[in-house]
Amino acid sequence: MIRVFIRKHRLLLTLSVLFIILRLPSLFEPDWYGDEGIYLTLGQAIRRGWVVYSQIHDNKPPSLYYLAAISQTVFGFRLLLLIWMIPTIYYFYQLSCHFFSHRLSVATTVIFLVLTSIPLLEGNIANAEIFMLLPTILGVYLFIKYQKYFLSSLLLGFAFTIKIPVAIEFAFLFAWLIFIKSKLKISQLLILTLGFFAPIIIWGIYFYFHGALPQFLFAAIFQNFGYLSSWATGSHSGSASDGGLLSRTIMLCIFFGLIYLGYRFKKISAQTAFLLFWFISTIFGTLLSSRPYPHYLIQVLPPLCLLFGLLISGRYPTILAFLFLAIIIIRFKFYFYPVVTYYVNSYSYLLGFKSQLDYQSFFGQNIDNNYQLSSYLKKNTTPNDRLFVWGDQPYIYPLSDRLPIGRYTVAYHIIDFRGYDETINAIKIYQPKFIIIFPMANRPFPELDRIVDNYYIFDRSFNSASVYRLR
């Protein structure tokens, strides 16, 4: 009986084992990744009744923070991601089956599974880009396979409430209906538009009744225009025309035009045109901020893996897409995380060949000190006490189970969003029992220094972190 089951489901079992081998180490990683620390801090605030954007701040749409609130810890967050990726991979396979044979669909799915699981592109990290894959892939699948336009755009709208670059993919589907679909009805465009904006409107209603609608619109949507340009301009005061955003929009339109002409003159099939349109849309989304973070490339993976299927099946002109991506990676200097050493370190620890301290040091030399610091703060404060950390170590808040004194969880947010005065006022109001300062010579904060000198005494240090106690 067992042999028959194994023989019948050999492929599924093989993929499951591969998935577990690649994903399992992520569940045991320490709190080390800054973005996850921010999400978990906001999630902690949500569980205590705080309103995102008005009481605690980050510049992404809200859905990810509520996923973090459910997760509570980095282990819970990674476990949620592991579970989330199961239907993601399944629906990618279903989408691949729409384009290819079973064998080729399996090949593209294995590539997708590996690239979204290993740390090369931060597939092991609970970031917005990896979470938005499920609603995006399912939305595209329902669009192209069943023409379920409302459900498709509704899912893309939900993905937008995780990370805004998916709006480009919605625009691609909208344009596909206009320029490619025959016998188009205006009602179909209206349905597509309504579905996409429905999740955003629902969140808007939620924040309206919580008195935070302007903050929500500004921080999660409008402020992102400055954020998209801030890598190039050096601040959040940029506009949509700064940082090359306008020129990249023009290039997007040019590429769309070339693909459309190739389809109209029957140089490429509708299938190839669809995947190329999708691929270029995701490239644009990846380059919105010009930042070389590897997790931005995760958005490209669904159409890229499907284009690889076309390449294997003999559509050799699609190799231009891979060359274009290579040029993008080199031009914008994308960096990547090690893979082999990651798994050697992880499984050496899980199998008992490496101590926890040696294992944690792989992720950063100060990991153990941050854990000790967080434990010390938790023991010497009450749950209602607040902390202030001047540094870029937001995971100290969830590790110590304490909230910050104000809206900002990291020093670079205070700097980028010019939150100095707001932060000083919050310190004066809440008078945190402890202020923790990490040395940052290039980030002076003289007002904070004066408060510490006048009202706090040095308590102790944890490696580079100096802890000051209220007098």
pLDDT at 227: 56
- Token reading at 442: 């290039």
Sheet containing 386-390, strands listed edge to edge, beginning at the edge strand earlier in sequence: 403-404, 386-390, 434-437, 465-470, 456-462
Q: Which H/E stretch holds residue 168?
A: helix 166-179
Residue 332 CB neighbours (<10 A): 14
Nearest Cα to Cα of residue 226 among 201, 245, 212? 245
pLDDT means per 10 residues in the chain (471 residues)? 68 90 97 96 97 94 97 97 97 96 95 98 97 98 95 98 94 91 84 96 97 93 63 47 68 87 89 94 88 95 96 87 94 95 97 95 92 97 96 96 96 93 96 95 93 96 95 91
Residues contacting 337, CB < 8 A, separation 6+: 119, 120, 121, 122, 294
Question: Taking Cα atoms as reference points, which of 112, 168, 135 lies closest to residue 308?
Answer: 112
| pLDDT score recorded for residue 316 | 80
Class of residue 315 by CB neighbours under 10 A (exposed 0-12, middle 13-18, buried 19+): middle
Contact in structure between 282 and 299 (CB atoms under 8 Å): yes
The span from the CA of 444 to the CA of 151, in Å, is 50
Round to whole Å and give the CA distance between 328 and 400.
41
Identify the pLDDT of residue 291.
Answer: 86
CA-CA distance, 230 to 320, in Å (whole number)?
Answer: 30
Region for 314 from its dihedrals, namely left if φ exceeds 0, alpha if ψ lies in -120 to 50, beta otherwise: left
How is residue 306 written in tokens?
């499907």
- 330, with CB counted inside 10 A (0-12, 13-18, 19+), is exposed
Q: Which two tokens stand for residue 188?
A: 């179909």
Q: What is the pLDDT of residues 83-103, one digit of tens each?
A: 999 999 999 999 999 999 999
Whether the CB-CB separation of 165 and 195 falls below 8 Å is answered with: no
Three-state DSSP state, 252: helix
- Which of 387, 336, 392, 299 is CA-nearest to residue 35? 392
Task: Tell me the C-alpha distance between 117 and 102, whole Å.
Answer: 22
What local confidence, expressed as pLDDT, does residue 10 receive? 80
- Closest residue by Cα to residue 387 from 308, 459, 305: 459
CA distance linking residue 429 with residue 171, whole number of Å: 46
Rounded to 5 degrees, φ, ψ at 57 are -125, 145
C-alpha dist (Å) from residue 459 to 112, 356, 387: 50, 28, 14
At 232, list the tokens.
Answer: 């190039």
Q: How far apart are CA 142 and CA 281, in angstroms?
A: 18
